[in-house]
Structure 1
Amino acid sequence: MSNISAPNSSLVLVQKAVKQLRLEASMRRIKVSQAAAELKTFCLQNAQKDPLLTGVPSSDNPFRPPKSCILL
């Protein structure tokens, strides 16, 4: 019984591989230099909104250390 299902599973794997290769071959490609230029432009346009570059105000930071209370 395992001899009968082995060719079928092999065929299914090959069909999946062919489908994936066709998908990848049909994708629109651009040059790396163009992609890098677009990425640089995007980063520069959004730099002022990036909390890793501008920092997070302490009032909005959920990870700030808790304030300690001293009761007198």
Structure 2
Amino acid sequence: HSSGHNQSHALQRLVEQLKLEASVERIMVSQAAAELQQYCMQNACKDALLVGVPAGSNPFLEPRSCILL
């Protein structure tokens, strides 16, 4: 049966994927959170959402035109 062969192949792929995931190095959530917080603090000065974008270098700013009628 080809469906049995396909199922066997799918299970084999699943096992390979699980082996791969099992081999991934893990760290504690508290450590990950501390590293993430440290990264955010170190890069806060470059974060456009915190410091804004200078008007001159904002590619999304629509050019202002003042039309007097």
Q: Give 2:12's aligned amino acid.
A: Q
Partner residue, 2:25: 28
TM-score by length of 2: 0.91
Are 1:37 and 2:34 an aligned pair? Answer: yes
**What are the residue-to-residue correspondences of 1:1-72 with 2, within 5 Å?**
4-70=1-67
Give the ranges of 4+ consecutive aligned residues of structure 1 lying more than 4 Å apart after TM superposition: none
Give the Cα–Cα distance (whole angstroms) in 1 for the partners of residues 67 and 57 of structure 2. 24
- Taking every aligned residue pair, what percent have the same amino acid on both sides? 56
In the alignment of these two chains, the number of paired residues is: 69
TM-score by length of 1: 0.87
Structure 1 portions without partners, runs of 5+: none
Measured after TM superposition, the shift of residue 66 of structure 1 is 1.9
